[in-house]
């Protein structure tokens, strides 16, 4: 015995509404980084005005030179130097 078309439509709409509400509930519980957290992020953990040396910013990714021909990992089309 099959369901009537109107019952299928009602159940489909109820499922769509349920999934939409479930999606908004999950989205509302997501935590975001606030501005005070971003402002504190540039300094050391124990930054204190009494000890200003602990408040110095450090470079995140210091410059490192790439791989050269002499190390053998540089893409060179000619013969290797000796």
Tokens of residue 19, six digits: 């999934």
Gap between the Cα atoms of 24 and 8, Å rounded: 25
13: which DSSP letter? H
pLDDT digits (tens, 9 = 90+) for 20-67: 887 765 555 567 766 766 665 555 566 777 877 777 777 777 777 777
82: pLDDT strictly greater than 70: no
Chain centre to alpha carbon of residue 41? 15
Q: Is residue 13 very low, low, confident or very high in pLDDT (cuts 50, 70, 90)?
A: very high
With CA atoms as reference, report the closest residue to 55 among 40, 37, 33. 40
Q: How confident is the model at residue 7 (pLDDT cuts 50, 70, 90)?
A: very high
* pLDDT score at 66: 74
How many whole angstroms separate alpha carbon 40 and alpha carbon 48? 12
pLDDT value of position 80: 63
């Amino acid at each position: 015995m099959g369901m009537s078309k109107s019952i299928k439509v009602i159940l489909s709409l109820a499922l769509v509404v349920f999934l939409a509400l479930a999606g908004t509930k999950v989205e509302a519980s997501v935590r975001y980084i606030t501005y005070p957290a971003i402002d504190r992020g540039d300094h050391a953990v124990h930054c204190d005005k009494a000890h200003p040396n602990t408040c110095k910013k450090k470079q995140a990714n210091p410059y490192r030179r790439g791989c050269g021909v002499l190390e053998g990992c540089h893409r060179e089309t000619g013969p290797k130097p000796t």
